[in-house]
Structure 1
Amino acid sequence: MKYVKISGYILGVLVIFLVGIMIGKTGAETTLNNMKVDIKAMEEEAISANKQMDQLDEELKTLQTDKKETLTLIDQKEELENEVAALQKELDNTQSTLDEELKVGREAIESKLKKENDKLTNLENEVKALQSQVDEKKKEMDRLTGELKKAKDEPRTLIAGQYVVGKDLPAGRYQVTNIGDGTNFFVYDSSGYPTVNTILGEDFYGDYVFFTDDGDQIETHGKVKLIPVE
């Protein structure tokens, strides 16, 4: 549209110029006929027309320069579009590769996670089985402990001899009484020091209550009964 506008300007100036020449010519003929020639007015019109032509030439040069710059920008745009298309293709290929690697990696992780979950389930089942065994053992231990406590609390009969506390009988507090005739009864601590030295029997001192610790030794010269007491 800008080229058409400039062409219109040029054509208009040419028309004006020709009209001016015709008018000038007619005026000159008229002036010559009437002896009134105005050469100065014609020169001014010619100068004005030349200035307009110079201005149009400058505008034309400017348009040609703009055209070159526009063509250069168009070429640059095409290059950039090609680069963008190449980068987009590379990006698509990279995205496709990453998606595939992510898919493979996810499958591997899920497979490994499933195996670990299976191991965990098996371990939990083993723990439950072991806990059941522990519970059974605990019940058995409680039963044996009860029996042991019951046996510990039951009276013990010792014949004449020597006994080690903690090995032959548990430590604790006992009441000793003779069975049959009276007898000598001794208790020695782990250092061999006598802590009990008495004679049992109705004709002597009767029953005797004493304490024992692990490592003590008991010596009796006759048959006696040890009764645990609190």
Structure 2
Amino acid sequence: MTKLKDRNDELQTKIDSKKKELASLTGTIKQVQAKPITLPGGNFTVGKDLPEGRYKISTTASSMNYFVNDGEVNIILGTESGFAEPTYTLDLYKGDKIEQGSSVTYTKI
């Protein structure tokens, strides 16, 4: 009887340990962030040069023109305060045409 009680206690300890482990994992979603993509100045196509998705874009240029689909998005992106946007968030879809005057970093959000 003592052996059975000891075995039961041992198993209960393992069960309690696994319950704690499960509780720490339950409801936790680990989201893998994609690495930012930097494209040089030029023309690009979403789905070919850049995956479609929602992005926060930025540049190290003081100011530059940034267009999507011949002006559907038309902003001045840059670090120069006053009139340039330091960052901009947008949705890009397969087939969208991007024209950027300088290097742009795309961070998927």
- Corresponding residue for residue 207 of structure 1: 87
1:119-158 alignment to 2 at 5 Å? 153-158=34-39
- Corresponding residue for residue 176 of structure 1: 57
1:49-128 alignment to 2 at 5 Å? none
1:214-225 alignment to 2 at 5 Å? 214-225=94-105
TM-score for the superposition, normalised by structure 1: 0.31
Structure 1 gaps of 5+ residues are: 1-149
Amino acid at match of 2:101: H
Deviation at 1:194, TM superposition (A): 2.8
Structure 2 gaps of 5+ residues are: 1-31
Normalized per residue, the structure richer in helix is 1
- Corresponding residue for residue 45 of structure 2: 164
> What is the RMSD of the two structures over their aligned residues, measured on CA atoms?
1.7
1:183-198 alignment to 2 at 5 Å? 183-188=64-69, 194-198=71-75
Deviation at 1:205, TM superposition (A): 2.0
Deviation at 1:218, TM superposition (A): 0.8
Amino acid at match of 1:160: G
Whose RCO is larger (CA < 8 A, sep 6+)? 2
- Cα shift readout 1:173-211 (whole Å, capped 9, x = no counterpart): 0111012322111111xxxx5321001113212210000
Deviation at 1:172, TM superposition (A): 0.4
TM-score for the superposition, normalised by structure 2: 0.62
- Runs (4+) of structure 1 exceeding 2 A deviation are none
The alignment covers a number of residue pairs equal to 75
Rounded Cα–Cα distance in structure 2 between residues aligned with 1:200 and 1:161 = 14
Partners of 2:60 and 2:79 within 8 A in 1:
no
